[in-house]
Structure 1
Amino acid sequence: MNMGFGLSVEPQLWALLFVMVRVGAAFLAAPVFSAVSIPLPARIALTGAIGVLTMHAAPVVAPDEIFSITTMLMVAAEAMVGLALGFVLQIAFAAPLVASEVMGVSMGLGFAQAVDPQSNTSTPALGQFLSVLLTLLFLSVDGHLVLVDLVVRSYALMPPGEAWLAPQRLLNIALFGGYAFLAGLLLALPVGFLLLCVNVIVGMLSRSAPALNLFAVGLPASLAMGVIAILIALPAMGDYLLVIIHEALEASQLLVLG
């Protein structure tokens, strides 16, 4: 038995585990990959497969001392870069939830809750519909492949061991959180404007005819108008969802990788 072969495998194994930290952290925070419906063994296998490809695309050397403070700091830096790449995308994916809150309250669907299959939490039913639509569009434009490409390219821009994010980049990532509210409001703008007009009309009717039952007329009218408005505005909302995906991928590259 060739003992030299066994000695040459161990550094490669540590290098693979070192690479898997950044890749696994990105998948832990990124949408689609972080869905609870994906089994943990499948995530680990996917992370390891991408880690092997990354080792061939970029020179990765394992730390000299495995159990040391320097190595722990390097691992923390790798995890921070991966989490930042996925977290920026996760911020953009929160825009449909903001839009659903704006539209759902005006339509009277604020009480309609459903379990989100990705996060396993209770979310508005309308927000779940928009989130599923955004996820399908993200997969249709190969956004998941672009994310993998960003993770692999990050090793050329931020070599392992030198990947610590500057405070200014962390601040920019935090400020990007406002984009979720901006995109959500713009996504709900067509439907929200029509619902506002309906509420104004119902208010005028309630003032002109005080005996009119506002709840018996206003709530069904708002719900019907909201459903019709969503059906009419759905193509435009789909186009803006593509814009959100494009902005999220661009922000991941700009805010994290520079």
Structure 2
Amino acid sequence: MFDVSLLQIEQWVADFLWPLFRVASFFMAIPMIGSNLVPGRIRLGLALLVTMLLVPVLPPMPAFDGFSLQSYLIIAQQILIGAAMGFMVQMLLQVFVIGGQLISTQMGLGFASVSDPVNGVAVVVLTQFYLQLTMLLFLAMNGHLVMIDALAQSFERMPVGLAGIDRSIFIEVVRSGGWMFASALLMSLPAITALLVINFAFGIITKAAPQLNIFAIGFPFTMLMGLLIAWVSLGGFLGQYLRIATEALERVGQLFAGG
């Protein structure tokens, strides 16, 4: 007969649960899949499926002791690693969200906000357009598959267990926020510069002809020119996305997958 002890069954369950915490937290934090539009059952089912595919090829798991403090620390660690990886992908989308916000504020559309069904918050119209375009490009270029591959490789770089994990990785994740704001500024800099020149020209006109109502003339003209600049800049949007996405995925690979 097939003789299996209770300790072996507990260890088998642990071999499946340790990776599941990391995978599930990753799918809860990653864009699109972790959004409010995807039900929690679907995210949990996807996490279970991916975990079942990963378990046979993962390194050996630590011994299981459900009532020890070490087990709870490992669970918290796996949740933190998965959420950090999803947070890094969120930064990729937030680059264009912040860039669109900067452009909209400069052109006078900062007050025109719509509800974002993905994140459940109100964002400006131009930001919503950039966000939808970025998500479509991310899926079209198999960015989700790249992230799942990085998640699988993270078990080699950061194995399950309290030992052997470089805690400076999480510090680098926090420092990546500076990269996010710098990339957003670089992405929106051409449009902001052009709109700044237009506002500077209106300032000179106001100084030369104070009798003109510059608010009645300048505001519609600035908004119209802002829309024109945003339309013209779409020709280089793909190049900007490729550059920013490459940097973001390289950061994820270097921090979590050892690539």
Tell me, yes or no, if structure 1 residue 82 matches structure 2 residue 77.
Answer: no
Tell me the TM-score normalised to structure 2 length. 0.92
Counterparts of 1:248 and 1:42, CA distance in 2: 26
Q: Which amino acid aligns with 1:146?
A: V
Contact 1:137 1:242 in 2 (8 A): no
Q: CA deviation at 1:11?
A: 3.8
Corresponding residue number in structure 1 for 2:64: 64
Secondary structure of the 1:161 match is: coil
Tell me, yes or no, if structure 1 residue 44 matches structure 2 residue 44.
Answer: yes
Identical aligned pairs, as a percentage? 30
Tell me, yes or no, if structure 1 residue 126 matches structure 2 residue 126.
Answer: yes
Counterparts of 1:59 and 1:164, CA distance in 2: 13
Q: CA deviation at 1:230?
A: 0.9
Tell me, yes or no, if structure 1 residue 252 matches structure 2 residue 252.
Answer: yes
Q: CA deviation at 1:144?
A: 0.4
Counterparts of 1:78 and 1:163, CA distance in 2: 13
Alignment of 1:45-194 (within 5 A): 45-61=45-61, 63-162=63-162, 165-194=165-194
Q: Residue by residue, what CA displacement relative to the aligned partner does 1:183-239 show, whole Å, maximum 9, x if unpaired?
A: 111111121111111111111111111111111111111111111111111121221
Moved more, 72-81 or 9-18: 9-18
Q: Which amino acid aligns with 2:78?
A: E
Corresponding residue number in structure 2 for 1:218: 218
Counterparts of 1:163 and 1:95, CA distance in 2: 34
Contact 2:11 2:64 in 1 (8 A): no
Alignment of 1:9-20 (within 5 A): 11-20=11-20
The change in CA–CA distance for 1:6 and 1:242 in structure 2 (over 3 A counts) is farther
What runs of 5+ residues in structure 2 fail to find an aligned partner?
Answer: none
The change in CA–CA distance for 1:236 and 1:11 in structure 2 (over 3 A counts) is same
The change in CA–CA distance for 1:50 and 1:62 in structure 2 (over 3 A counts) is farther
Corresponding residue number in structure 1 for 2:240: 240
The change in CA–CA distance for 1:164 and 1:219 in structure 2 (over 3 A counts) is farther
Q: Residue by residue, what CA displacement relative to the aligned partner does 1:89-134 show, whole Å, maximum 9, x if unpaired?
A: 2122211121122111111101011111221111122111111111
Counterparts of 1:79 and 1:60, CA distance in 2: 19
